Copies of this chain bind each other. A is one copy, B any other.
Amino acid sequence: MANVKVPKLPTIRRLPTYLYKLSEMRKAGVEIVATPELARYMNLGEIVIRKDLALTGVSGQPGVGYKVRELIEAIKSYLNWDNVSEAILVGAGSLGSALMGYEGFEEYGLRIIAAFDADPAKIGTEVRERSVFDIDRLEELTRRLQVRMGIICVPADQAQDVADRMVAGGIKAIWNFANVSLKVPDDVIVQREVIAGGLAVLSVKMSRKLVEEDSQE
């Protein structure tokens, strides 16, 4: 199962970027987009573009392209972003605040409805128009609000405790920004966000480029 998922992972990661570009086009009144244009935008080959988009079940018309509106709907449907998911966020620090301020999430069907923190200076305040509650109320409020998704933005050494409270409150999907691997029951999904993953890609691109430059000398 894990082996089956791997090849699609980059495609899934790229889908929001397609979605962003296609939404821009729709706003500009564009109805059809050709594969070469998407390839230039994504900085990928046309074969990769076609494979990526085939995952959503939509196929372009040869020599013409994809219908923008149809493709948007197919991507949103594949990602289940045509339904709104409500989430709570724990850790109202700078990262938590950045995520709550991220403009794209509403379009992607994610609504962060409340934040939790352990810091008395933050409890009772509002961050990005969300109330910050005492973390001791996490389990109770999550259960009452019937929220299924939780976002962890606390330091690594507090993340497991937060995850345990989330699970106790009925959370079934955790988006984990803490730099630690979480232990959760089998029926809970964790997506760990390793910010340094992008830095690794950039570093490899840079060192390869340096090699290329060297070999030209």
Contact = CB atoms under 8 A, between A and B. Distances in A.
Tell me if A's interface is mostly helix, strand, loop or mixed. helix
Give how many copies assemble into the complex.
2
A215 interface: no
Interface stretch (A64-72, A102-110, A136-144, A162-170): A102-110
B105 A9 contact: no
Interface string A47-82: 110000000000000000000000000000011110
Contact of A200 (B7, B16, B173): B16
B191 A201 contact: yes
Interface residues of A, number: 65
A27 interface: no
B179 A206 contact: no
A79 B10 contact: no
Given A104-B179, A198-B191, A206 B48 contact: no
A181 to B, nearest CB: 6
Interface hub of A7, A9, A101, A195 (most chain B Cβ within 10 A)? A195
Contacts of A172: 206
